[in-house]
Structure 1
Amino acid sequence: MKFLKVFERLKTNVIGMIHVGALPGSPLSRAPLSEIIETSCREAEQYTQAGVDGLLVENMHDVPYVFEVGPEVCVCMTAVCSAVRRLCPSLPLGVQILSSANRAALATALASELDFVRVEGFVFSHVADEGLLNACAGDLLRYRRHIGAEHVQIFTDIKKKHSAHALTADVSLAETARAAEFFLSDGLIITGTATGVQTDPEELRVVARSVKLPVLIGSGVTYDNVENYVDANALIIGSHFKKDGRWENGVDPDRVQRFMEKIHELRDG
């Protein structure tokens, strides 16, 4: 499986989220880039010391999000990701650039020598809180080929959070998953309705039965409910790993360590 070219195990890989500080040009931007890089690297070190299986870097503090990001975002994210890569030369690393700036994410991944990107709006149109988002699979995969980044895997959200799916109400989650597989996604991400909201465990079973692709959980995994997701190929965890369980706070090493101890117990079991 292509997934195993990035991750060492097939199931329950834990991917810790690094939410970089608000970047230059965004409304909440306050810190210089050097400080943002330093904080991101410190969190990467905390995650690796706790034994996570991978990291995902995201510009979540750049609210409100826009569909078309400027070159400053791509350049700054490349600087952050490159610094994290130097610190973690062998750990699986990915990037997501909000909102759905998927070409910028691919370019950043290529320049920073990352392994994967998280992509929104891969198949079917939907209404996100930023506006109407159309599918990008055809253009994005051609862009990946054009820049020589075919080794960068594309993990795609389906029926994504923070969105209304009335436009595709007659298209089931399983049908959406099969469409993403047909359009050559490398892995599917399912979530709850918003950041930190628990993903329905039944949806994991539905998607896993419908496709042969890896299935990742993209929101709401905690110490108390992780048993529901042991069959997932990876767990992307942000909120639960932060102080007080809030995504906007810094990483809490004790929460990460405690979670990883439980993961090891579940794997051994």
Structure 2
Amino acid sequence: MSSLGDLFGVRKPVIAMLHFPALPGRPRHDRSGGEARLLDAVGSDLLVLQDAGVDGVLFCNEADLPYQLRVGPEIPAAMAAIIGELRRDLRVPYGVNVLWDAIASLALARATGARFIREVLTGVYESDLGMIEPRIGEIAGYRTAIGADDVLLFDNVQPEFASAIGSRSVADRARGAAFLGVDAILISGPAAGAALDMRHLAEAREAARDTPVIANTGVRAERIREIFSIADGVIVGTSLKVDGVTWNPVDPERARRLVDAAGQARSALPVG
């Protein structure tokens, strides 16, 4: 499980979400605010999160509802423009997530220097968006073709708003993803910010063996010790926002509280 430690420089990293407002071409996009509003919103959250002491950040087009399984070029282009403006301010490792398009995420990572992507990369799922059918072989081949083999693949094997097709358990899916070479396995609750099932987290952790397992939703300061007893890291967004609402700006006090709780939880872990 050295990949996470090597990337973030800490045991059990806290990776914080940087949610973009709706991007060009999406129903909620603010045309009058344009690029300036995007840059202000994402840049302000970045400074707050880094000042709070998070270990990494993940840029995501969270507000692009309703989500697409294949996005147009305007989405990663807009994200790349904003990330490019912010690169001089970035002090922590960063990843990208273009919902729900792994190829677009890889292209964006290659263009911006992102170190990892988060996507559904394996399995087949029925979802509110339709059938999610990633093809890990094509995704991995594309990563090599564009010279992005150093971009880590974070695979959400228990995605939000979706259920796996067939009878394979969380453990089966985690074991398969690890065998296929993903760099981390993510376990989520039923929606953004929703608590995950700790049994699923434990099943994935046991099945994944040497592949890190990350809690992807429902991470709060008061639960971080429990989650760190199993997970190798966390991705957190909603609980860091003003009033705990996904679409709000990051609350500096909530961010500091979670980072402090994570530090205390790490200190209580067994050595090794």
Q: After superposition, what is the alpha-carbon deviation per residue over 1:3-45, rounded to whole angstroms, capped at 9, x for unaligned?
A: 333111232x111111101101100001301220122111101
> In structure 2, what is the Cα distance between the partners aligned to 1:233 and 1:164?
24
CA distance in 2, matches of 1:77, 1:67: 17
The alpha-carbon deviation at position 262 of structure 1 amounts to 1.6
Q: Secondary structure at the match of 1:249?
A: coil
Following TM superposition, by how much is the alpha carbon of 1:67 offset from its aligned partner in structure 2, in angstroms?
1.4
- Aligned residue for 1:209? 206
Aligned match of 1:54 in 41, 52, 56?
56
Name 1:221's counterpart in structure 2. 219
TM (norm. structure 2) is 0.93
Give the equivalent residue in structure 2 for 1:35. 37
Aligned residue number for residue 247 of structure 1? 246
Aligned to 1:7: 8
* Unpaired segments ≥5 residues, structure 1: none
Q: Where in structure 2 are there 5+ consecutive unaligned residues?
A: none
- Report if aligned partners of 1:85, 1:113 keep a CA contact under 8 Å in 2: no
1:172 pairs with one of 169, 190, 196: 169
SS at match of 1:199: coil
- Percent identical: 30
- Partners of 2:45 and 2:178 in 1: CA distance: 33
CA, structure 1 residues 235+129, in 2 after alignment: closer, same or farther (shift >3 Å)? same
CA drift of 1:234 comes to 1.4
Report if the CA contact (8 A) 2:225-2:261 is conserved.
Answer: no
* Counterpart residue number, 1:16: 16
Letter matched to residue 265 of structure 2: L
Once the two structures are overlaid, the 10-residue window that deviates more, 1-10 or 175-184, is 1-10
* Partner in structure 1 of residue 182 of structure 2: 185
Query: Is residue 112 of structure 1 aligned with residue 109 of structure 2?
Result: no
SS of corresponding position for 1:158: strand
Question: C-alpha distance in 2, partners of 1:254/1:3?
Answer: 26
Q: Which segments of structure 1 move beyond 3 Å, counting only runs of 4 or more?
A: none
Deviation at 1:83, TM superposition (A): 2.7
Q: 1:3 to 1:267 in 2, by over 3 A?
A: closer
Residue in 1 that maps onto 2:96: 95
**Greater alpha carbon shift after TM alignment, 31-40 vs 208-217:** 31-40
Q: Deviations over 1:198-233 (max 9, x none)?
A: 112222221111112011110001122112111322
Deviation at 1:183, TM superposition (A): 1.4
Deviations 1:91-122 (A, max 9, x none): 11011001x211111111111111100012x1
Question: Which shifted more, 191-200 or 258-267?
Answer: 258-267
Q: Contact (CA 8 Å) 2:158, 2:189: kept in 1 or not?
A: no
Question: Matches of 1:198 and 1:207 in 2, distance apart?
Answer: 16
- 1:129-158 per-position Cα deviation (integer Å, ceiling 9, x unaligned): 111111221110000000000011010100
Scaled by the length of structure 1, what TM-score is found? Answer: 0.94
